[in-house]
Structure 1
């Protein structure tokens, strides 16, 4: 591995993408980190195929792992062997290569067999030579096919991998009435291609790295080089390279916890999206995105609280309609947070009820205290939500009937709960489900439960204290050195107006200052 390859992997000046190209493709050779380059001991490739086979049996369990294949073949009197993982091999490509090689004569392969195969006869677009046995084995485990040639002292690495992938579908959590129906899948190459399809700018950079000593998960940093803050890109690159863990099989969520120290704060510090149009829009604003292989969602950095309450549907409608939808969404989020604590406070202190709202309050008392009813219903809603996730689709309707009739209705009739508790809890649940960010909705639920407990214990001072602590905690929170409550705290009038009102697309002439973009204008002069 030369210095040029290492520079290309980090997206230095001599390249456009992860490997110096602007097509988003990933070269298996660029996936080795600098640490591994320094620590891996150079191990020569044995001369005889029998010795190579024995080495593979010791190193990777060839003959024990059923999916590892060592296929010995002879071309032009030269003995060769293909080594690959059966599930990754793209059989049509390898078959075409083998068919071509079977027609070769000895004179076509001597005196330098490896060079002849590389430059003339192996018909594939990504082929490299490798003289380190350990690296050749690692490439095979990442999906490439390694062609060993007897007595050559090196091998050919053929990047002919094919990952298992599901079809591209609309994400369940970010559906729209009108708009694109494609969403990210679990394959990294497919995901970066969906973004590059929307941003055909040669300055779009996609840097590839690997995380995990055992899983060696591919992680990609995406940004537009003349927009994104280079300090943010360098900081993110540095943090990912320093992650020391055996693996991140759960993908982006484990990576988030590894690079962002958030402790026990329940509020999400990054925005996840499964829509390539949303991700592309954020990149044009100066955000940096992080892909993790095997994850169908993408991290967007930096993120504020108000990024998490916006939805793509607002931008698929006219500005006036989009503004209306945004305000309805804001109302739902505020309702999910404060409706139950406020109603509980008015029930405990009837003298606080405004004129004309004397009817607020329970018409009858239940067998359980109101606070216990609220907490039980909160836990019950979460339990039903989890049950809905784990219930097979044909049984989901039956599960809903059981939850609504056998649990809710009978619990009220037996006197354990009162009707008002069920009604207000249902309204709060609707507001939570209207929250675009699933993680934000869960965090708001925990805050609502804490406010209920504070109101039960301290009444008005409890509610004031709880809301104050909540606001202060969010105000001091930072997402990758970015104020979480911007543009509310610190206050920025124009940016706050853009959040409250969905402005026409041509009215947004500048990118948000929160990302510190290099190019601040959204309507460049040609």
Structure 2
């Protein structure tokens, strides 16, 4: 009886009934989904090794398709395309991201490949296609699947051939981009109207158009495990301090971040300004002519893809106070504009604290300043008036950024006429507070560097509070602390207040005066350039007729 089969199942007691194919398929799919949900890969290399065990290109296209479905979401993401076709009698697949490739160039290449027959690809098909049959400039190959996927994700095309463990990479990128336009922040009356865009290659070409020097180097690297953001270090090789270039390069290479979705600002915080200091350590610019002039002075430029602004390093406080307009005018008028701008920057920092100090301590007023001070009292203390207006101006600035352009002017009129006028008439504010706050705000907006203007505003707030709490001692202590903080603040081992601290008379003259071109013969010594001469010995002012 024990050896008899179970009549209800048709199998012996020791036998396991076979699993139906549908159930087996369902079990495999469930296990596959569980493996996909358990993946925690931080980059493409880890993902390829997780699914395939090693970072190699599968020989069979069937295995390749299966891997791409799990790694990049093939057949799930609508823009990930694997175009399959037969070339020279060999099954071929082309991986690309729809929308990031130049379809005309890709079609031209495919048309050329479809003319091949079996004899053309009899031996070494990858090398044959790469070296003989692709009428294109930028062609490479790779043995790593992760590299092929990464290149496809940045807009290139990867060609896979059945039976081959090597892929062909075609640089067919065509990013969505806008035409170069004049930057909003760095406008000039006379000068070039082209500015950087969000495309790295376009920005580099705008610089090369101005600096046609064989020593202009553009080193590119990728930052971010997930974003794979392109970062370029640009410098003139026979001018720049190579120690500085190496320091910047090492800091970028050592970054192990998830990505740089906010581009250059996040990169700055990662390699330069890592603390809570409000003052910027790099100069941002969107003008190719400004960047070209700094490159010729021996500075290093760091460019990040997807950002229309670039970082210039090292920089100083006085560099951030200069504008391209000064060099577009005659030396006399350029010097005048520079002094006016310096005056506006100083007013944005010290005008309000000094006036408040004279109001709190009227005995400090010299006789010729007796007219200063509120002629009538208000319902709020002076410090409260200043703080309210400070926050009000910042609120208006933020509102202007988020307000459509046709409505921004109307909003400004409402704020200036209704709010300001009514605040004075109701007795909450005095006229002098509104006046001096307006002058300080204009000085902040006249600051060429937006980041420097914000930092100066923070200093103004601290000085106002210090004066309100401690009077003269608070102003002196706050100003001294500011100078100490700026002196100890260093941009890649360069003094932030140079040439004031340490003092250099010649360099300080270059800061205060916009010298004629032929009188400015040397590059700034702070850059530690290998060649500090800007022109030949025969180019002297007296030699020109």
Q: Give the TM-score, by structure 1 length.
A: 0.91
Whether the 8 Å contact between 2:231 and 2:305 is mirrored in structure 1 is yes
CA distance in 2, matches of 1:41, 1:433: 57
Residue 33 to residue 83, structure 1, CA distance change in 2 (3 Å)? closer
Q: Is 1:272 equivalent to 2:288 in the alignment?
A: no
| 2:257 aligned residue | 245
1:423 counterpart = 2:440: no
Q: Distance in 1 between matches of 2:113 and 2:413?
A: 65
| Partner of residue 341, structure 2 | 329
Partner of 1:281: 293
Name the TM-score, length of structure 2 as normaliser: 0.88
User: C-alpha offsets along residues 94-123 of structure 1, whole Å, 9 cap, x if unaligned?
Assistant: 010111122222222223322221122112
CA drift at 1:261: 4.3
Q: Name the CA distance, whole Å, in 1 between partners of 2:474 and 2:142.
A: 68
- Offset of 1:323 from its aligned partner? 0.4
Change (3 A) 1:191 1:33: farther
CA contact (8 A) 1:33 1:210 kept: no
* Matching residue of 2:112: 100
Q: Deviations over 1:479-513 (max 9, x none)?
A: 11000000000010000001000001111111110
Runs of 4+ in 1 over 6 A off after TM superposition: 32-36, 38-41
Offset at residue 41 of structure 1 (A):
7.7
Q: Which of residues 338, 347, 368 is equivalent to 2:380?
A: 368
Other structure's SS at 1:125 match: coil
Structure 2 match to 1:64: 76
Decide whether the 8 Å contact of 2:44 with 2:150 is kept in 1.
Answer: no
The answer to whether the 8 A contact 1:332-1:435 is kept is yes
Aligned residue pairs: how many?
495
Q: Structure 1 residues 287-296 or 407-416, which shifts more?
A: 407-416
Alignment counterpart, residue 321 of structure 2, candidates 309, 315, 337: 309
* 1:379 to partner: Cα distance: 0.5
Question: Distance in 2 between the 1:377 and 1:57 partners?
Answer: 57
Name stretches of at least 5 consecutive residues in structure 2 with no aligned partner: 1-42, 539-545
Q: Deviations over 1:438-474 (max 9, x none)?
A: 0110100011111111111111111111111111111
- 1:483 paired with 2:491, answer no
| Equivalences for residues 107-146 of structure 1 within 5 A | 107-146=119-158
Aligned to 2:350: 338
- Cα distance, 1:75 vs structure 2: 2.3
Which of 503, 507, 517 aligns to 1:505? It is: 517
Match of 1:182 in 2: 194
Distance (whole Å) between structure 2 residues aligned to residue 77 and residue 402 of structure 1: 74
Is the partner of 2:209 in helix, strand or coil? helix
CA distance in 1, matches of 2:358, 2:45: 63
Q: Is the 8 A contact 2:273 2:280 kept in 1?
A: no
> 2 CA distance for matches of 1:225 and 1:525?
22
Match of 2:239 in 1: 227
Contact 1:43 1:134 in 2 (8 A): yes
Aligned CA distance change for structure 1 residues 329 and 261 (closer, same or farther; 3 Å) = closer
Distance 1:262 1:69, change over 3 A: closer
Partner of 1:200: 212
CA distance in 2 between partners of 1:441 and 1:497 (Å): 23
**Residues 35/228 of structure 1: CA separation in 2 closer, same or farther (3 Å cut):** farther
State the distance in 2 between where 1:442 and 1:291 align. Answer: 23
Indicate the residue corresponding to 2:268 in structure 1.
256
User: CA 1:507–1:433 in 2, change beyond 3 Å: closer, same or farther?
Assistant: same
Contact 1:348 1:459 in 2 (8 A): yes
Q: Does 1:149 align with 2:153?
A: no
Equivalent residues of 1:33, 1:209 under 8 A apart? no
Shift of the alpha carbon at 1:82? Answer: 1.1
Say which SS state the counterpart of residue 243 (structure 2) adopts. Answer: helix
Tell me whether 1:464 sits opposite 2:485 in the alignment. Answer: no
Moved more, 418-427 or 453-462: 453-462
Question: Does the CA-based 8 Å contact 2:45-2:55 persist in structure 1?
Answer: no
Query: Alignment partner for residue 64 of structure 2, among 49, 52, 60?
Result: 52
In 2, distance between residues paired with 1:43 and 1:471?
55
Change (3 A) 1:408 1:317: same
